[in-house]
A and B are shown apart, each in its own frame.
Chain A
Amino acid sequence: MKKNLTCVACPLGCSITVELDDQGQILSVTGNTCKRGDAYARTEMTNPTRSLTSTVKVEGGRHPVVPVKSAAPVPKSMLFDCMKEINKVVVKAPVHIGDTIIENILGTGVAIVATNDC
């Protein structure tokens, strides 16, 4: 069986074909331009993950919110739960780019970090 995917690992968006055997084991990954595409296709078939970006409330900053991102992709099925956690947080200014906002979100081992100064 063949499955077609669009790699979302970078804006090139390569069309990737994954060939599976009857047990759903991956036989081949083709169409990717780089190694990240191969890795993307393999996780997408087993445990799809996505990067998450959002904002967190700031007290006393130059704007009311500061942008944040997950330092690594989190399971796709947990995106909305992660959002709930992120929306509970209020931080105090000053916040710097790269500051950790949540150390380990919902036990995923992934940190939520600030992506701008505020």
Chain B
Amino acid sequence: MLKYDLAVVGGGPAGMAAALKAKECGVKKIIILERAETLGGILEQCIHTGFGLHYFGEELSGPEYAGRFIEQVRNTDIDVKTDTMVLDISDKNLITAVNKQDGLLHIDATAVVLAMGCRERPRGALSIAGTRASGIMTAGTAQKYVNIDGYMPGKKIVILGSGDIGLIMARRMTLEGAEVKMVCELMPYSGGLTRNIVQCLNDFNIPLKLSTTVIETHGKERLEGVTIAKVDEHGQVIDGTQEYVACDTLMLSVGLIPENELTKGIGVSLDPVTKGAVVTEMRETDHPGVFACGNVLQVHDLVDYVTMEAQMAGQGAASYIQDREVFENAEYISTSHGNGVRYIVPQKMNIRSKEDIKLYFRVGAVYKNAKVVLEADGTIISSKKKVKLAPGEMENVTVPADVIAKLTKDSTICVRVEESQ
């Protein structure tokens, strides 16, 4: 049995930032467990630039952003075990992991940070009729083929889902000489960042077909084409709008799901909307000493926010390890979301907190010239004008410390969208 103050599960940007922050806060024995052969997480295959503008003030590619943290981890005494898969975490924070060198590993950790990231929704999650021809894959799998393994998975491509990975891949495949016929999106708006629509689709005249989905795939061995159709506001196919599109590859970019099997095993409560743990502003779950951050907690579009969130978790874990007083004296209220807001992270906040607390949230639809309103006990604390709010972009609002000081255990904190008349 190995004994650590802090065990971090997952060595992506979230896991590395949490471990580094805890180290900076003085935690002695820290270990990062990563199932891949290197640290870096999903960033290793995200070779496009757009990472780190907020955090480093520079536009970096994924591997460069990850590289900076890998370097920092190397310069500390944080233990790293790669090629190591965590199998189970018990409710006593006992971790079971496996790798080739050590075989089965047992780690007893005072605190645990969950940073397992997320995975892509597979084809099974959709109702597409047709054969199991090859040439159907998630956009992230295609990204790994092209950017790491160095081969092109197809020539004529249809992308279903306008999430960022799909948009990035539309450009990548086009630049490598493939013909990207279209990106179909079930919703009447794109789930990706606006900048990615502009620089990945518009720049290359790739059509984005909104309120459109793929209903059938054709081809026996290899995909030969797909049938697309328009859908109404309830997502139902509009008869007569079916259209055949010849293609050899269908890429799915239909959403990400936090990878929470381990989290469930501990018995941590999950938020039905984020599919991640319910956490406090320190990113502690409802299981004492277990923290969560990054894409395993909520799907992020900006890695900079992942890093910042992970630092909160790392700092939280450090105070849990070093001085539990804050946790023992804490009194939590739930944050609530009103009109237009789908979820808020953190779901709970400590009203004894002496510091400002930032609430991160996503809206459920596209709003123009709307206001983000923060209310405490029914009184408006702030009202911020926003030119545009979209589900694809995470927003945040700060609850100031002086407002928190006045809250009681029966108080309410609510974030809502006020639409313009």
Instruction: Give the complex CA separation of A76 and B387 in angstroms.
Output: 28
Chain A residues positioned under 8 Å from B301 (CB to CB): 11
Asked if B388 lies at the interface with its beta carbon under 8 angstroms from chain A, I say yes
Instruction: Give the complex CA separation of A50 and B367 in angstroms.
Output: 29
Instruction: Give the complex CA separation of A68 and B63 in angstroms.
Output: 10
Instruction: Give the complex CA separation of A111 and B63 in angstroms.
Output: 18
Query: Nearest Cβ in chain A — how far from B203, in angstroms?
Result: 7
Asked if B198 lies at the interface with its beta carbon under 8 angstroms from chain A, I say yes
Q: Which residue of B lies closest to A65 (CB)?
A: B150
Chain B residues positioned under 8 Å from A100 (CB to CB): none
Docked-complex contact A67 and B193, CB < 8 angstroms: no
Docked-complex contact A69 and B61, CB < 8 angstroms: yes
List the one stretch of A20-28, A53-61, A102-110 in contact with chain B.
Answer: A53-61
Say whether, besides A50-B203, A115-B61, A10 and B148 are in contact (CB < 8 Å): no
Residues of chain A at interface, number, CB under 8 A: 31
Query: Nearest Cβ in chain A — how far from B74, in angstroms?
Result: 12
Asked if A45 lies at the interface with its beta carbon under 8 angstroms from chain B, I say no
Query: Nearest Cβ in chain B — how far from A73, in angstroms?
Result: 10
Asked if B100 lies at the interface with its beta carbon under 8 angstroms from chain A, I say no
Docked-complex contact B147 and A67, CB < 8 angstroms: yes
Chain B residues positioned under 8 Å from A64 (CB to CB): 149-151
Say whether, besides A10-B59, A69-B61, A97-B63, A55 and B146 are in contact (CB < 8 Å): yes
| A13: contacting residue among B54, B150, B195, B203, CB under 8 A | B195
Query: Nearest Cβ in chain A — how far from B67, in angstroms?
Result: 5
Asked if B48 lies at the interface with its beta carbon under 8 angstroms from chain A, I say yes
Asked if A112 lies at the interface with its beta carbon under 8 angstroms from chain B, I say no
Docked-complex contact B198 and A6, CB < 8 angstroms: yes
Asked if A47 lies at the interface with its beta carbon under 8 angstroms from chain B, I say no
Docked-complex contact B148 and A63, CB < 8 angstroms: yes
Chain A residues positioned under 8 Å from B60 (CB to CB): 115
Asked if B44 lies at the interface with its beta carbon under 8 angstroms from chain A, I say yes
Instruction: Give the complex CA separation of A107 and B217 in angstroms.
Output: 45
Chain A residues positioned under 8 Å from B339 (CB to CB): none
Query: Nearest Cβ in chain A — how far from B126, in angstroms?
Result: 27
Chain B residues positioned under 8 Å from A7 (CB to CB): 195
In A23-56, the 8 Å CB interface with B consists of 31, 50-55
Asked if A8 lies at the interface with its beta carbon under 8 angstroms from chain B, I say yes
A-binding residues in B (CB < 8 A): 44, 47-50, 53-54, 59-61, 63-64, 67, 146-151, 175-177, 193-195, 197-199, 203, 301-302, 387-388, 393
Nearest 9 interchain pairs by C-beta = A65-B150, A67-B47, A116-B63, A64-B150, A13-B195, A13-B194, A115-B61, A10-B53, A8-B195
B-binding residues in A (CB < 8 A): 6-13, 15, 31, 50-55, 57, 63-65, 67, 69, 76, 79-80, 83, 87, 97, 115-117
User: What are 26 A-B interface contacts by the 8 Å CB criterion?
Assistant: A6-B194, A7-B195, A8-B195, A8-B199, A10-B59, A13-B194, A15-B387, A53-B48, A55-B146, A57-B150, A64-B151, A65-B147, A65-B150, A67-B61, A67-B147, A79-B175, A83-B176, A83-B177, A87-B176, A97-B64, A115-B63, A116-B44, A116-B61, A116-B63, A116-B67, A117-B67
